[in-house]
Structure 1
Amino acid sequence: MSTLLKDRISEALLLAGLDQSELARRIGVSSVAVNGWCTGATKSIKGENLLKAAMHLNVHPIWLATGKGERSPHGQGNISTEPRPIRTFEDGDPLEEDEVEVARLTLKASAGGGRLQWEIDTKGTPNRFRKGWCNRKGFDPTKLVTIMADGDSMSPAVQDCASVTINTADVNARNGNVYAIDYQGQFYIKRIFMEADGSVRISSDNPDKIRHPDWHVNKGNGDALRILGRAVQVQNDI
C-alpha cells in the first residue's frame, strides 16, 4: 500500500499518462498546488479537488486520499460492472482500424561518443494502443517507443521488468515528471526535479534511499544529462 499521498499521486500520474501541469489544468488549480501534492509539501487532498483529481487520474478517491482499498475506481462500493472481453493477438496479426503499433526497443551504447542509441528489439512483440488514447493524450504514435524497466528503483509506479512507453517528442524537463534519461552514457528511468540553484535532482520513487539515493547534476555539468523522452504509460505485472 502506498502510505504517502505524494507516492499515490506520482503513481497515478504515471499510470494515467499525465504530467503535473496537465492535471492542474484539468482540475482547475495551480501547478504549484499539484507540485505540493507530488513532493509531499501538501499532505492531503480534500473536497472537490480530491474528487476531480481522482476522476482525471482514473482512481478511487478513497485510495487517493488514504491509500486504503483498491486503486481502481470500480473496485469499491456496491457498483458492479460487466466484464469486458479481452482480445488477444498473435505476432503478425493485422492491426485493427483503431489501433497503432509501438515498437519495443532495446538500448545500446554508441561507439565513440558514449551516447546511448535506440535499437529495435526484433525478438520483442510491439505494443498496440488505441488511436483514441493517443489522440486524447496528444501523442504522435510515431514518437512513442516501449522499453523494459530494469530494477525496482522506481517502484511502486514502475516495477522491475515493467513495460514503459516513452514519448520521445517530449524532451523538455518539467518538474516532478518521470523521464527516460541518458546520464554519462548510462540509461535510467527517473523522476526529475529542477532546483532553485539551477541544478537537476534525479530521484527514485522507491522510498529506500539507502539503496536508491537521489543525485544532482550541477548546472555546469548539464551536457552529461540527455532527456530521451517522458514516461507516459506503464504496464506492470500483477
Structure 2
Amino acid sequence: MDGVSYLNTLAERVEEAIKPHSIRAFASKIDVSEGTLRRILKGEDPKLSIIERIANEAQVNLLWLITGTESGVEDVESLHPVVKLDEFNDAFALVPGYHVSVSTGHGAFNDQTQVSRHLAFRKKWLEYKNLEKSKLAVVFAKGDSMEPTIHNNNTILVDLSDKKLSEGLIYVVRLGEELYAKRLQQYLDGSVRLISDNKEYVEQVVKPDEMEQLEIIGKVVWIGKDLT
C-alpha cells in the first residue's frame, strides 16, 4: 500500500491497519471496547498486548505498527510475517518520549512530565552504548541554534544518568526556566559556557555565583533526523 511506511504516528498506522473495518467492528474483533480503540486513534498509548492484537487481526508487522519502520500492510500474512510480542520484547526496548521541547522556549522536565509516546531501540545497541533503558528519555528539538548538528523537530535521546560535564559534548540543560540542548565548556574560574553549533548565536555564560540556575538534565547520546 503506497505511502503506508510514511505514516508518522502510531494512531495513523492503526487507522490505516484497521481499514476497511469500522472502529466498532474492529474493536469487537480484537475484544476491546470501542472507546479504547477510539482513544488509541486519538493518540493515547495502548498496552503492548493490545498493539499485538491489532497487528495480528490486521495482518500487519508489529514492528511497523509500533515504530513505522517496516513496509506496512500485506494481504497475505506469509508475505510479511507478523512479529510476535515476545520476539519484539526480546529485541527492542521502548524508551519513553516526552512532549518537551529543548533549545528554545519554555519546558518542564521532571518525574511528573507526561509520557506522550515511546520510541523503540534495539537492546543490543543500548548494551553496546552502555545505556540503561530506565535512565533514558526522548525529547524534541526546537529552533536552529544547534544546526547543522541538530535541526528543528529532531528527536533527541538523552541519558539522564550522565550529568558529569565532559567538555564539548552536547547536554540537555535547564537554565532558569528554559531548556536547552547545548555544548558545555567549563573554565578555570568555574564558569560554564553554553555553546551553539550555529555560529549566528552568541554563547551564554553562567558565572560561578549563578550556578544554582544551571541544571544538567542529561547527555545527548543519539539524534534522529530526516535526511531531506
TM-score by length of 2: 0.58
Choose which of 143, 166, 175 in structure 2 pairs with 1:174: 166
List alignment gaps of at least 5 residues for structure 2. Answer: 1-60, 68-82
Q: Distance in 2 between matches of 1:229 and 1:195?
A: 20
How many Å apart are 1:116 and its aligned residue?
3.1
Equivalent residues in 2 for 1:13-162, closer than 5 Å: 88-91=63-66, 94=85, 95-107=88-100, 116-118=108-110, 119-122=113-116, 124=117, 126-162=118-154
1:233 paired with 2:217, answer: no
Q: Distance in 2 between matches of 1:160 and 1:107?
A: 13
Match of 2:177 in 1: 185
Q: For 1:37-59, what per-residue CA distance to the aligned partner results, in whole angstroms no more than 9, with x for missing partners?
A: xxxxxxxxxxxxxxxxxxxxxxx
Aligned AA (1:233):
W
Choose which of 210, 221, 237 in structure 1 pairs with 2:210: 221
Aligned AA (1:147):
V
Q: Do 1:103 and 1:120's aligned partners in 2 also have CA atoms closer than 8 Å? A: no
Q: Do 1:102 and 1:141's aligned partners in 2 also have CA atoms closer than 8 Å? A: yes
Q: Distance in 2 between matches of 1:174 and 1:160?
A: 24
Q: Distance in 2 between matches of 1:189 and 1:87?
A: 33
Q: Distance in 1 between matches of 2:131 and 2:223?
A: 15
Q: State which structure, 1 or 2, has the greater radius of gyration over its C-alpha atoms.
A: 2
How many Å apart are 1:149 and its aligned residue?
0.2
How many Å apart are 1:159 and its aligned residue?
0.6
Label 1:222 to 1:115 Cα distance change in 2 as closer, same or farther (>3 A): farther
List alignment gaps of at least 5 residues for structure 1. Answer: 1-85, 109-113
Q: For 1:190-210, what per-residue CA distance to the aligned partner results, in whole angstroms no more than 9, with x for missing partners?
A: 1000112210000101122xx
Aligned AA (1:120):
Q
Match of 1:202 in 2: 194
How many residue pairs were aligned?
A: 143
How many Å apart are 1:87 and its aligned residue?
8.8
Match of 2:7 in 1: none
Label 1:115 to 1:155 Cα distance change in 2 as closer, same or farther (>3 A): closer
Secondary structure, counterpart of 1:188 in structure 2:
strand
Q: Distance in 1 between matches of 2:153 and 2:107?
A: 23
Question: How big is the alpha-carbon RMSD for the aligned residues of Structure 1 and Structure 2?
Answer: 2.4
Q: Distance in 2 between matches of 1:142 and 1:89?
A: 23
Q: Distance in 1 between matches of 2:91 and 2:63?
A: 15
Q: Distance in 2 between matches of 1:201 and 1:192?
A: 6
Q: RCO (CA 8 Å, sep 6+): is it higher in 1 or 2?
A: 1
Secondary structure, counterpart of 1:117 in structure 2:
coil
Over the matched positions of the two proteins, sequence identity in percent amounts to 24
Secondary structure, counterpart of 1:152 in structure 2:
coil
Label 1:89 to 1:120 Cα distance change in 2 as closer, same or farther (>3 A): farther
